[in-house]
Structure 1
C-alpha cells in the first residue's frame, strides 16, 4: 500500500513539472503539434518514470566475522508464555486514504461509462454518409458539432453552406489526426488522479491545444479566415455537448481567435522543450536512485584471520540431531583436556529415528557453574555449537552459538534462552559503566569516583518441565442448546475433560508456584538494587563536591591559564560526557529488564487465571 502512495506522489509530481513547463514556456507559442506531443509525453512519463529505478552499488569492506560467545543459557520450560499487549483502537489512515481514493475513482469511472452510453445513444440509429475516410452523421438535435474517431456529427439545418464547410474542415482535422485518442487518454488520467487539481488543468490544456491545431489546419484550407472566425462565434450559442469527443464549440473562443491571428513563433524558441530535461534529471537523482551497500569479496582465510585477531584462539564443538552418545563423550573430554572446563551431559532423549530431542549440558570450571544448556521436546533439536575462545590475557570463555547467527538471546526448539556473561557467577548481563577518573596534575590526587551498583545476581529456581501440548482441550458446546442429543454428548465430553484436567492440575500448580517464586525473588532483588542506587546517587553527590574542591585546588596552585590543567580538564569533561551517556543507557537497559520481568510475571498470572477458569 505504501508503494502505491509513493507511486501516486511521484506521478503527481511529474504531472506538475510538465504542466508548469507548458504553462510558463509553451502556452503562448504556435508550436501546436509539438505542444500536443509534449503534453502526451508528460502523461506517459508520469506513469513510466517512477518504475525506473537506477541501482547504485557502494562497495564496503567486509566486517570480520568472529564468534562472540553467549553464555549461561537457562531454559524456562517447554511452555513459552507470550507477552499480552493491551489492544487499543487505532485508525489505519492508509486504509482511510485508500478508501477515499477508491470511492472517487469509482465515481469517475461510472461517469466515464455514462458518457460512453450517451455518445452511443446519439449515434445509434442515425443515417451515416461515407465521405472519403470520414463518416458524416447529420442529426436533428441541437448539439454542438463534434468528431469521434472517424465519425463527424453535426446538425446541418443550423448552419449555412459556408459555415457547414468550415465546421467539416475543422472536424476532419480532429478525425484525421486521431485527436480522440488524446481526449480519452486525458480523461483516463483524470480518473486515475482525480484528487490532483492540476490534472484537470492539464486536461483542459490538451483540449485547447487540439482546438488550436484544428483551427490552424482548417484555416489553411479556407480562403476567408474572417468568415471562419464568425463561425466560431456563432457556434458558442449551442449549449449541449457530448463528452469524450472533440467539440467544435469551446468556451474560450477568444483564445482560439487570438491564436489564429498570431504570428508564427520563431524556431529558436524550440529550446523551451528542452527546459524540462534538467527537471527530469533532478527528479531521477533525488528519487530514482537506490543505493545498495555490498561487501567486498572476502576469502575464508581473511575471515578466519580477522576472527583470530579479535580472539587469539577459538574452537567450536558442534552438536547436531545425529550426534551419537560416544561423540558427546569425546566432546566433553576434549573441552576438559584442552580448556579446563568440566562438561556434564545428561537427560539425553532420542526419537524413533535416533535423533536427539532432548539434552542437558552443565559446564563448570572448578566450583563455578558458567554454562547451562537444556533442550527438551518431541522434535529433533536444531544444530548448535559450544564455542571456547581465548582472549589476549589468556582468559577463556565458553558460549553457545546457532548455525544461523550469534545473539544474546536465541531460541532453540521454541525454548527461550536468556544470555548471561561468562565471567559473572550468576544472572547479570548488564554491566554498569565505570566513571572516568581525572588525571592527577602535580602532586594533587583527584577523588576516586564511585562505581554504579550491579543488579543482584543469583540462580533462579529450576523451572518445572511441563509439556503444555499435552494439556487437554475443552469441548466445544453445540450451537443449538435445544438439541438434547448434542447436549448430552457435550456433558459427557465435559466430564471426561474435567477428569483429564484433574490429572493435569499438578502441572498447572507447579507452573503457578514457579511463577510466584520467580516474582518474589526478582521483587526482592529489585528492592535491593533500588537501595543500592540511592546510595550510589549520594556517593556521586559527594564525588561531585570533592571534584569541585579538586578543581579549586588546581586553580590555586597552577592558575586557570595552566596548559597542563586545561588539557587535563578538557579530557576529563569529555570522559564525563561519555560516562553520562553510558549511565543513561545503563539505566534504560535496567528499566527495560525490569519491565520484561513484570510483563513475564503478568503473563504467568494471566495464564494461571485462564487455566483455573477452564
Structure 2
C-alpha cells in the first residue's frame, strides 16, 4: 500500500469518526460559534493528523539497555522487497488499479469543474448587477425575483419582492454571513468533497456546516430585536412563493427549515456544557495515536527482530569480546560503497524472483547472514531463516556476489564483522 493511499484512507476514516463525534455531542446545543470552530477543526484535523509522524518518539528508549539494543540493530540492514512480475498478475492488478484511479479522478474533476463554473457564474452576476445602499449596507440588486443570498463580501437581493421589515431582517441575516466569512467555510467543505467525493461523511459535514451558519444568522436577527414568531413565518415563506433570507449555498428543504425553527425556540444550553468541547482533544490524540501505530507497524514489518541473533551478554558492555574472530558491533562498522541506499539498489537490481517459486506461489521473508571479511569480501553466507529452497538459493547467490565493502575496524585494527539482511519475496 502506497503512502498516498494510506494517507487517503486515514483522512476518510477521520471524517467518519469525527462526524459521528460531532453529531453525538454537539448537534443539539446552542453554542453555534463553538460548533462552527469544531467543524473547521474537524476538517483541519482530518487532513493533517496523518502527516504527524511520532513513531520515532513512540519507540524511543533512553535506558542503557535500549541504547545497546539500538546499537546492535545497526548490523541488521533494511529489508529489501522483491515482487513477482508474472504477466497475468501484473496485468490483472494494473487494469483494476487503472479503472479505480480513473473513476476517482473523473469524479474529482467533474466536481471541481462544476464548482469553478458555479463560482464563475456567481461572480459574473454579482459584478454585472447594479449596486445600491440599503440602510447603509451596500448590496447587489437582482433584475427580477430572486432569493437573496450572500457570497463573501456581496449581498444579492431583489428588494421589491419583500416588505421593508423583511428586507431589514434579510440584510441582518446576510450581513452575518458576510461579516463572519461563512463562504470561506463552505469553500473549505467543498474542497473536502472534491477530494473525498465518494465518502458520504464529507457531504454530511458540509450540510452540518451550512445549517450551523443559518443558526448563527437566525440568532443574530432575533438578537437585533425582531419578533421571533414573525421571523419564523418569514422563513416558512407564508407571505411569498420564494423563501426569504436564503443563503446562496443552501437550498432549504423542509427538514433544514424545521431544524432552524426548532433551534430558534430551543432553550439556551447551559454554559457549563461548553466543557464538553474539550473532549475533542483526546479524540484527536487517539486519531494521531492510531495513525502512528499504523506507521510504526509498517516500519516494523521491515525489521526481523525475532530472527536477529543477539551477541552474548558480555558484548552488551563497553568492552568487546576479543576472543571472537567475528564481531557483531565494532567502532567503525563496514560500509558498502555508496552506503545503505546503494546497497539496497544493488540488491533490488540483481535479485530475481525464481520462476519455480512463482509457479508454486511461494513467498515470504528470507533472512541471510554474512560476514564482511578483513579485505572487504563477503564470506560465510548462510540462510538463518528459510522459506523455500529456490528463494534461499537466489538470496545466497546475490549476497555472495556483492562487490567488496570497506572493512570494519576495532581499536585501529581491521576485523571481520557479521551482518544480517532480510529479503522479502512477495507475489503481486
TM-score tier, shorter chain, comes to 0.5 to 0.7
Residue 86 of structure 1: how far off its partner (Å): 5.7
1:179 touches 1:246 (CA, 8 Å); kept in 2? no
- Three-state SS of the structure 2 residue aligned to 1:135 is strand
For residues 192-243 of structure 1, what are the alpha-carbon distances to aligned partners after superposition, in whole Å with 9 as ceiling and x for unaligned? 1111110100000000000000000111113322111111011884389999
- The residue number in structure 1 matching 2:415 is none
Where do 5+ consecutive residues of structure 2 fail to align? 76-83, 306-314, 328-370, 398-428
- Three-state SS of the structure 2 residue aligned to 1:288 is helix
Equivalent residue in structure 2 for 1:274, among 258, 278, 284: 278
- The residue number in structure 2 matching 1:117 is 120
- The residue number in structure 2 matching 1:406 is 378
Are residues 1:53 and 2:53 paired? Answer: yes
Equivalent residue in structure 1 for 2:264, among 260, 266, 270: 260
Equivalent residue in structure 1 for 2:324, among 295, 309, 318: 309
Residue 262 of structure 1: how far off its partner (Å): 0.9
Distance 1:401 1:255, change over 3 A: same
- Cα RMSD between the aligned structures? 4.2
Distance in 2 (alpha carbons) for counterparts of 1:241 and 1:188 = 25
Distance 1:120 1:85, change over 3 A: closer
Are residues 1:190 and 2:162 paired? Answer: no
1:143 touches 1:155 (CA, 8 Å); kept in 2? yes
- The residue number in structure 2 matching 1:106 is 109
- The residue number in structure 1 matching 2:184 is 181
Distance 1:90 1:248, change over 3 A: closer
The alignment of Structure 1 onto Structure 2 pairs a total of residues equal to 319
2:173 touches 2:218 (CA, 8 Å); kept in 1? yes
Equivalent residue in structure 1 for 2:289, among 285, 288, 301: 285
Residue 248 of structure 1: how far off its partner (Å): 8.6
- Three-state SS of the structure 2 residue aligned to 1:30 is coil
For residues 233-274 of structure 1, what are the alpha-carbon distances to aligned partners after superposition, in whole Å with 9 as ceiling and x for unaligned? 11884389999x355956421111111111100112113212
Distance in 2 (alpha carbons) for counterparts of 1:589 and 1:231 = 81
Residue 33 of structure 1: how far off its partner (Å): 0.6
Residue 593 of structure 1: how far off its partner (Å): 5.2
- The residue number in structure 1 matching 2:5 is 5
- The residue number in structure 1 matching 2:389 is 589
TM-score by length of 1: 0.45
> After the TM superposition, which residues 97-496 of structure 1 pair with which residues of structure 2 at under 5 Å, given as runs?
97-130=100-133, 134-234=137-237, 237-238=241-242, 245-247=248-250, 249=252, 251=254, 252-288=256-292, 305-306=320-321, 308-309=323-324, 401=373, 406=378
Distance in 2 (alpha carbons) for counterparts of 1:10 and 1:31 = 29
Residue 111 of structure 1: how far off its partner (Å): 0.7
Distance in 1 (alpha carbons) for counterparts of 2:134 and 2:375 = 80
- The residue number in structure 2 matching 1:31 is 31
Distance 1:208 1:400, change over 3 A: closer
Distance in 2 (alpha carbons) for counterparts of 1:131 and 1:239 = 20
- The residue number in structure 1 matching 2:93 is 91
Residue 406 of structure 1: how far off its partner (Å): 3.5
For residues 290-315 of structure 1, what are the alpha-carbon distances to aligned partners after superposition, in whole Å with 9 as ceiling and x for unaligned? 558999xxxx9979934633669xxx
Distance in 2 (alpha carbons) for counterparts of 1:121 and 1:98 = 34
Where do 5+ consecutive residues of structure 1 fail to align? 67-83, 313-398, 410-428, 431-581, 598-614
- Three-state SS of the structure 1 residue aligned to 2:43 is helix
1:135 touches 1:150 (CA, 8 Å); kept in 2? no
Task: State which structure, 1 or 2, has the greater radius of gyration over its C-alpha atoms.
Answer: 1
1:36 touches 1:206 (CA, 8 Å); kept in 2? yes
TM-score by length of 2: 0.64
- Three-state SS of the structure 2 residue aligned to 1:137 is strand
2:235 touches 2:243 (CA, 8 Å); kept in 1? no
- Three-state SS of the structure 2 residue aligned to 1:91 is helix
- The residue number in structure 2 matching 1:424 is none
2:112 touches 2:194 (CA, 8 Å); kept in 1? yes
Residue 141 of structure 1: how far off its partner (Å): 3.2
- The residue number in structure 2 matching 1:321 is none
For residues 69-109 of structure 1, what are the alpha-carbon distances to aligned partners after superposition, in whole Å with 9 as ceiling and x for unaligned? xxxxxxxxxxxxxxx97633332344443332211111111
Higher relative contact order (CA 8 A, sep 6+): 2
Distance in 1 (alpha carbons) for counterparts of 2:272 and 2:252 = 33
> After the TM superposition, which residues 495-514 of structure 1 pair with which residues of structure 2 at under 5 Å, given as runs?
none
Residue 591 of structure 1: how far off its partner (Å): 9.3
Residue 276 of structure 1: how far off its partner (Å): 2.4
